[in-house]
Each structure stands twice: as C-alpha cells, then as structure tokens.
Chain A
Amino acid sequence: MHVPDGFLDAPTSVATGVVAAVGVGVALRKARAELDDRTAPMAGLVAAFVFAGQMINFPVGAGTSGHLLGGALAAVLVGPWTATLCISVVLLVQGLFMADGGLTALGTNITLMAIVGVAVGYAVFRLVLAVLPRTLGSVPVAAALGALVSVPAAATVFTVLFAIGGTADVATGKVLTAMVGWHLVIGIGEAVVTGLVVSAVLASRPDLVHGARGLAARKPLVTSQAAA
C-alpha cells in the first residue's frame, strides 16, 4: 500500500500532506488523554510491532502479496489517536530509512494508513462491539472485522486520490475494481493477524487493551484494583 514518488501529482501530494499534518496535529493533542506511565511504553511497543508486521508480506494469489497495515490493531490496543501516531512513526521510519514509500508521498501514506486505516478500523470495531455481547471474547472479533474493512477502505481512498491527481492516464473504474478486489483479500490477512494479536494480548494483559476497557471478563480475572 506504500505509495511511491510520482504516482500522484504535486498538488495532490501537497494536499494530502496538509491533511496528514492536520491529522497528526490533532492526534498529538488527543493522544495525551490515552497515554500515561503504563500505556506510553505499550504504545512504543505497538509501533515497533507494526513495523515488524509490515515486513511480513503474505501471498494472496496470482503473484500478489499483502502485509499488515496495523491501523485497526493499533487503535484497539492503544486507542485511535495514539494509533494514528504509531502508524505515522512507522511510515516515517520506513520513508526515511528503508526507502519504502516515497518521501514526497509521506503525506499520502499517512493519510491512507494512519488516518483512513485507523479511523475506519476503529469505527467498525466500535460498531461491531456495540452489537456483540459485552464480554472480552467479543473484542478480537470486532477488531478483526475493523481490520478487514480498513484495508479496502484505504485502497478506495487511494483510488479517489488517483482519480484526482494520478499522473498516468488509466480509467478510474479499472483501478477501483482491482484495488478494492485485491485489498479485500489482503484485508482477510489483516483480520486474521489483528484478531490473533489482540487475543494474545487480551489473554495475558487484558488491562492493556484500550478497546476492552469497561468490558466484563468471561472468567474471573485479577483486576487492577485487586492487584494494587
């Protein structure tokens, strides 16, 4: 999903740069409410984990691969505003040090993965969680569905940007069909990884999962109150 230099023209890249700057600016202020002495190191770990996860491309058929975007995963684990910052840091490191994603496309990539991916992933997570039973077991399911939808959503927004400012003359409909189709398949991988990782963290540290706050455990757990 990392957009390289040149796919989008300069005005579109500048516009997404402004969107990214505003989004990150808002996230910097709002994330303070999500971060404390206990969750700040967890957020750093989540960013590092998403970086690692993005290196694992899995085959999705026909000579194509996909990898974790991590927006929904990060949002469920550390909250949506912190997640936007987590994914932005990952994209910054990838752009600056790995030449993954063009430097002139950094704003585009932050917009697609750190803003759209996180916002859609977290919104779907919250919607699904609202209709599922209020137990911890619902959290990984809702997280997986949020992840599933977040990938084609980011692919759709890329197509919109391509329709506005793509430098090559290719029919938008053709790009949209291919982008959404393939990213729906990649979204399944995103859903599986997200569901498994959220389950694993819930199993050992349910208190560290932002999206599980206020939910009853299925079995008696040592609450933070009892532990303290």
Chain B
Amino acid sequence: MSAHRKFLLAGLLVALLVAGVGSYYASSHPDGLEYVAGKTGFIDSEKTDGPSTGSPFEDYGTKGVDNDRLSGGIAGVAGVLLTLLIGGGLFYGLRRRGGSAEDVASTEPAVTADAD
C-alpha cells in the first residue's frame, strides 16, 4: 500500500473513531448560539415543526436503536461515510485529471499522482 493511501486510511480511521466512539463523550451542553438564544430570549423563535427529511439519524441518533452509545455511534459513522461519499464524489469529479493542480510548485512533476 502506498504511503499516500496509508495516510488517507489512517485519517479516515481517526474520523470514524471520533464520530463513532468519541462523540459519546462530547459535552451535551447547548452550543454557543443555543445558549445565547436562551439567555437573551430568542430561543423560542425556533420553528421545531420545520421541514424534515425523515432521516433515521435525526439528532445524531439511530432510529430503533435503544442503546445510547450504539445509537449515537452508528449515526456518527453514517455521517462520516455520507460526507466522505458526497464530498469525495464531488471532488473526484471536479479534479484536474492526470496531473497536478496549476498552483502546485513547478518543481513537482505532473506524474506524481501516478506513482501511487
């Protein structure tokens, strides 16, 4: 396996661990905006009956999974993979094929990517 691929896989593993396991230990306090909205008095202007997609992962839980750790972990892993899929697909489609980006230093040969 190339060093480049190893690096990408290691990064993905970290992201999956952070979202799938680490998120359980995250603070459950309201975030800055929610807190300020509550303190200064506009939290009630939130429309809780707004449009919904009916996703099984709403509020970072998994519908039908009762165990909190598992429910949040599955949602986190799903979110990371969905982001990777949509983002990766988009960037793969946008990239300049078979060469380096134009702003890469000219010392870098255009064939570097093929070395993988």
Interface residues of A (CB under 8 A from B): 1-7, 28, 31-53, 55-60, 62-67, 82, 85-86, 89-90, 92-94, 96-100, 102-104, 155, 158, 162, 166-168, 170-171, 174-175, 178-179, 182-183, 186, 204-205, 208, 213-214, 223-225, 227-228
Contact = CB atoms under 8 A, between A and B. Distances in A.
A90 B82 CA distance: 9
B33 A65 contact: no
Interface of B: 4, 7-8, 11-12, 14-16, 18-19, 22-23, 26-33, 35-37, 39-42, 44-48, 50-53, 55, 57-60, 75-76, 78-84, 86-92, 94-105, 107-109, 111-116
5 contacts: A5-B46, A44-B88, A55-B23, A55-B60, A170-B40
A98 B88 CA distance: 19
Given A51-B83, A97-B78, A36 B35 contact: no
A35 B91 contact: yes
Given A38-B100, A94-B79, A5 B115 contact: no
B55 A98 contact: yes
Given A52-B22, A228-B111, 6 more contacts: A38-B112, A47-B83, A52-B14, A64-B29, A103-B51, A170-B42
A67 B76 CA distance: 15
Nearest to B36: A178
Given A5-B46, A45-B8, A49-B15, A89 B86 contact: yes
B80 A98 contact: no
B84 A36 contact: no
Taking chain A's interface residues, is the majority helix, strand, or loop, or is none over half, making it mixed?
A: helix
B46 A4 contact: yes
Contact of B50 (A5, A66, A86): A5
B112 A224 contact: yes
Nearest to A62: B35
B33 A31 contact: no
Contact of A32 (B30, B86, B95, B111): B95
Taking chain B's interface residues, is the majority helix, strand, or loop, or is none over half, making it mixed?
A: helix
A63 B29 contact: yes
B87 A1 contact: no
A52 B95 contact: no
A39 B32 contact: no
Contacts of A103: 50-53
A3 B34 CA distance: 9
B72 to A, nearest CB: 8
Closest 6 CB pairs of A and B: A44-B88, A5-B50, A6-B47, A47-B87, A37-B113, A168-B42
Contacts of B116: 38
Contacts of B90: 85, 89
Given A33-B102, A65-B31, A158-B33, A178 B39 contact: yes
A93 B47 contact: no
A185 B64 CA distance: 37
Contact of B30 (A44, A63, A94, A155): A63
A56 B7 CA distance: 22
Contacts of B98: 37
B84 A96 contact: no
